[in-house]
Amino acid sequence: MSRLIIPAGLALLALLSFGQSVVAGVAGDCDFVFPWITHNDRFSADLVFNNLGAEATSVQLIAVRADGNSEQAEIFIESLEQQVYAADALFPSLGSGSGYSVYATTARTSDHIEAAFVVTGRDSCSQSSPAQANVVKPSAAANLLLFKYMPQLNGGTAAPVIVNTGDQTATVTVHGYQYNGKVGTNNILIGANQPYAATIQSLFPGTREDLYLVVQSDQPVVGLSFAFNELGEPAMADAVPLTVLPDGGNDDGDNNGLTGWDAILAKFTDNVQAFVDGNTVVIRTDGVPNHGSPYFGAGDSRYLQPHSGMHVNPNRIGEQNLEFEVPTNPAVAATGSETRLGPIGVALNGVPFFNQYAGRTAAGWEALDNEILSFDIYNGHPAGNDMYHYHFEPVFLTEGDKAALIGVMMDGFPVYGPQDPDGSLPNNLDECNGHTHATAEFPEGIYHYHATTEFPYLNGCFRGESGTVSQ
Ligand SMILES: [Zn+2]
Ligand SMILES: [Zn+2]
């Protein structure tokens, strides 16, 4: 196994403490990972090391938080000795706050160090409710993990921890399941060597049941599940690798009992707040994509190198304050009405859809020809107000299923990927790029648009009466 040699010294320490991305390979090349160590008002943690070897040795430790901040430490341990360290004693400069992952590397390949950790709930009745878990070897990292039990009943809550042990930003899809099947998916990005943690409520806001999760990542990941009772007392268990997705599927064609707007709302990512209010659906979004892009700018953990031939425009991705009000029960009009410049709908990841034109002058609509060169690999780019948007199929959302729901237009009709549910290309689309049949979300049938590689790409016009958007 290749091994990371960490020179002592302030230069590296400074780099690690302030850099956004830690030395590449630090997680993948270490001997073991403490997935989640916490030191704050609510939780404390102890790191435990046992030296089963015949020689005294040192262990290099690097702690990395989700924001990329990190700190290193070194411990010395005699043969057959056990040592226990409070997290804040090992990593004083990280201080309190959210948890961090700790990567440990022993001095020699012959060393035999075992380790575990204890997380203690401090604001429960006892103020010292402990839970213990084992460290994980990076060789146990996988692209598919199962978190077996995420309880939410009886006032408790649960949280998965996902650690990206790869050296590239990980694109991760979290699939949630409950007693009667799949509840939804959520896409997240995790920087190289960085951990991610979120409560089930923030990942799947509508759910109240006990869940289990399957996490799919394009980088190797390890995982740990936390379960807390109503007093905030923790318990922990490792996530286990899976080799295939449940039921052999790539994504849900099935919405487990949810239909209509309930099914759509369950599919929005957590940067979107959406709810039905009478005959209107209110959809609020920051408009920031859940995938990488050159338009995040170098230095951002979500930054991707431009693809070959891409003309990166001078704009960057900025947070928006978009609020759509969309009719819940749109009627199909006899003819389509023209869309407009700016947002005309919203994708399931909160990114607005724009129409098939670049602009409009006295001479009429201008084609997208030049703008297309500035699209990133996910078919998006930001406008002058830093509003990232798609004019074309948002391919990040159709990677696993070309017939998947991708969003809704402002007239309340849904938009799907380029295929119909049977895998065929729709061949009877009207001038708005729509037609009517049953879909996974609307088993009774609904008028809907399709993304197409040919003009008009998303919808060519509104076949229903458009709602409104404020920005
Ligand atoms: Zn554009
Ligand atoms: Zn269709």
pLDDT of 342-399, one tens digit each?
999 999 999 999 999 998 888 889 999 889 999 999 999 999 999 999 999 999 998 8
| Secondary structure class of 269 (helix, strand, coil) | coil
Report how far ligand 1's centroid is from the alpha carbon of 372 (Å). 8
Q: Which ligand is closest in space to the CA of residue 369? A: 1
- Strands 414-416 and 446-450, bridge-based pairing: parallel
Is residue 419 within 8 Å of residue 435, measured between CB atoms?
Answer: no
Q: Which ligand is closest in space to the CA of residue 379? A: 1
In this prediction, residue 247 carries a pLDDT of 67
* 217 phi and psi angles, rounded to 5 deg: -135, 145
Q: What's the whole-number mean pLDDT along residues 105-119?
A: 95
**Model confidence band, residue 24 (pLDDT cutoffs 50, 70, 90):** low
Report how far ligand 2's centroid is from the alpha carbon of 325 (Å). 24
Q: Which ligand is closest in space to the CA of residue 424? A: 2
Name the least confident of 248-262, 428-442, 445-459: 248-262
With 80 as the cut, is the pLDDT of residue 244 above it? no
**Model confidence band, residue 67 (pLDDT cutoffs 50, 70, 90):** confident
Distances (CA, A) of 304 to 170, 385, 389, 395: 12, 21, 17, 16
Q: Which ligand is closest in space to the CA of residue 445? A: 2
445: left (phi over 0), alpha (psi -120 to 50) or beta: left
In this prediction, residue 377 carries a pLDDT of 95
Domains and CATH numbers, the chain: 10-138 (2.60.290.11), 139-252 (2.60.290.11), 253-471 (no CATH)
Q: Which ligand is closest in space to the CA of residue 440? A: 2
Report how far ligand 2's centroid is from the alpha carbon of 440 (Å). 11
Q: Which ligand is closest in space to the CA of residue 428? A: 2
Report how far ligand 2's centroid is from the alpha carbon of 139 (Å). 44
Instruction: Tell which wins on pLDDT, 179 or 170.
Output: 170
Report how far ligand 2's centroid is from the alpha carbon of 457 (Å). 14
| CA atoms of 188 and 342, how far apart (whole Å) | 26
In this prediction, residue 401 carries a pLDDT of 86
Report how far ligand 1's centroid is from the alpha carbon of 471 (Å). 16
With 60 as the cut, is the pLDDT of residue 292 above it? yes
Q: Which ligand is closest in space to the CA of residue 419? A: 2
Taking residue 71's Cβ as centre, other Cβ atoms within 10 Å add up to 20
| CA atoms of 170 and 291, how far apart (whole Å) | 9
Residues 6+ apart with CB under 8 A from 364: none
- The β-bridge partners of 405 are 416
DSSP 353-412: E--SEEEEETTEEEESTTGGGG--TTSEEE-TT--EEESS--TTTSSS-TTSEEEEETTS
Exposed / middle / buried, residue 419 (Cβ in 10 Å: 0-12, 13-18, 19+): middle
- Strands 468-470 and 352-353, bridge-based pairing: unpaired
Q: What is the pLDDT of residues 196-211, one digit of tens each?
A: 999 998 888 777 789 9
Report how far ligand 2's centroid is from the alpha carbon of 427 (Å). 9
Is residue 28 within 8 Å of residue 64, measured between CB atoms?
Answer: no
DSSP 128-147: -EEEEEE-B-GGG-EEEEEE
In this prediction, residue 182 carries a pLDDT of 78
- Using the structure block, give the residue that is written with the tokens 């995040």: 296
In this prediction, residue 301 carries a pLDDT of 84
Q: Which ligand is closest in space to the CA of residue 342? A: 1
With 50 as the cut, is the pLDDT of residue 165 above it? yes
Return the structure tokens found at 211.
């869940």
Report how far ligand 2's centroid is from the alpha carbon of 400 (Å). 17
Q: What's the whole-number mean pLDDT along residues 48-57?
A: 96
Report how far ligand 1's centroid is from the alpha carbon of 390 (Å). 7
| Secondary structure class of 18 (helix, strand, coil) | helix
Name the least confident of 83-92, 170-179, 290-299: 170-179
Report how far ligand 2's centroid is from the alpha carbon of 419 (Å). 7
Q: What is the pLDDT of residues 405-419, one digit of tens each?
A: 999 999 999 999 999
Report how far ligand 1's centroid is from the alpha carbon of 262 (Å). 30
With 80 as the cut, is the pLDDT of residue 127 above it? yes
Report how far ligand 1's centroid is from the alpha carbon of 371 (Å). 6
Q: What's the whole-number mean pLDDT along residues 58-68?
A: 93
